[in-house]
Amino acid sequence: MVLITLKKAEESLFLFEAPATSPLSELVPQLAKLQNYRLRLRRLIDAAEDLIEYGPLKPDDQHGYDEDQLEALSKEKPATPPLKQEVERDGRKVLLNPDPTGRRTGEAPTEDMAEIIQKTLTNAKACLSQDLVKSNKCLTFPDLDEAFSNIRGAVAIVWPMGLPEWEPVREILEDKEDLTGTAASKEVIDIDTASLWWAGKELQREKKLVDYVGKNDKTKIIVKIQKKGQGPPLREAPLSEQQQKDMMAYYYRKQEEHKKLAENDEDDYVNSAWANTKALKSAFSGVGNVSWRPT
């Protein structure tokens, strides 16, 4: 299997394994689909964290604050935030935690219920971590499927009656998001037109991976995926930011050393042992390195 590292700019996204004989017409869409799946999981994690913090999203026509909330906001904020108040809503306990943006109901799940979802989110974040790349562990579709399944199950436990249809968590889980005009839409890669770049070359879909990397199935390559029309990706800096700082510090020290040497008297060398014209005679007579002083 060829080990493929997919990168965006200078960030390593994930590792993927594929046979050297893989047709690029299949490999490129696979990588694009896997990256889009990762982005979808990231959006789900963010939405779920808001959900367990401030409760479900309100309908669009109800966004904002009611009179009581506006009055509370107009007052001076206390030095310490008030404790979340536990109340009962529709036969279930919730924690009242008003959303600062006024978009969510403020009816968050109790701490023990929130912990059920939070555990699945922590496990899901591991699928997106760069630690996978550092540990040479490949990301697979089943890994992401499992993360989605666990979050879906946890949400069903906490909200057995279901979430409102406009709740982002539900939309993402059901793959019914409308990303039109959002920042997230700019990150999504078109599977049909995505292009893959390696070693400054665009990998043509009508060819196979072996046509570029050779027949060795133990090859490791770093590729970047681009949207249609973006052209070749920018070349990375040969040195990292930390390496640049270390190199500048090294040359600064060398420069200071040269300054100190230049400040010394030009005839300092006459006091050196190698500049002594009688050194050879003293060596043969056995009186070298003899110091004289009065008794």
Task: Return all residues near 210 (Cβ < 8 A) that are at least 6 apart.
Answer: 20, 21
Is the pLDDT reported for residue 261 higher than 80?
A: no
- Residue 189 contacts residue 31 (beta carbons within 8 Å): no
pLDDT above 80: residue 178? yes
- What does the pLDDT read at residue 295? 54
Report how far residue 207's alpha carbon sits from residue 90's, in angstroms, rounded to the nearest whole number.
60
Domains of the chain: which residue ranges? 2-226, 241-285
**What pLDDT was estimated at residue 249?**
81
Q: Tens digits of per-residue pLDDT, 109-145?
A: 999 999 999 999 999 999 999 899 999 999 999 999 9
Compute the distance between CA of residue 114 and CA of residue 270 in angstroms, rounded to an integer: 81
Q: How far apart are the C-alpha atoms of 279 and 276, rounded to whole Å?
A: 5
- Predicted pLDDT at 89: 76
Mean pLDDT, all residues of the chain: 83
Tens of pLDDT, residues 6-64? 988 778 899 999 999 999 999 999 999 999 999 999 999 999 999 999 999 998 887 77
What is the rounded distance in angstroms from the CA atom of residue 138 to the CA atom of residue 260?
53
Q: How far is CA 30 from CA 27, 114, 230, 269, 290, in A?
A: 5, 34, 20, 71, 83
Q: Predicted confidence band at 80 (pLDDT cuts at 50, 70, 90)? A: low
pLDDT at res. 282 = 72
Q: What pLDDT, on the 0 to 100 scale, is given for residue 177? A: 92
Which has more pLDDT, 152 or 233?
A: 152
Residue 291 confidence (pLDDT) above 70 = no
User: Which of 44-58, 83-97, 251-265, 267-281 has the weakest average pLDDT?
Assistant: 267-281
User: How sure is the predictor about 78, in pLDDT bands with cuts at 50, 70 and 90?
Assistant: low
- 172 within 8 A of 57, measured Cβ to Cβ: no
Least confident of 154-168, 195-209, 266-280: 266-280
What local confidence, expressed as pLDDT, does residue 210 receive? 93
- Round to the nearest angstrom and report the end-to-end CA distance of the chain: 86
Check pLDDT > 90 for residue 68: no
Q: Is the pLDDT higher at 71 or at 167?
A: 167
Report d(CA 244, CA 13) in Å as an integer: 24
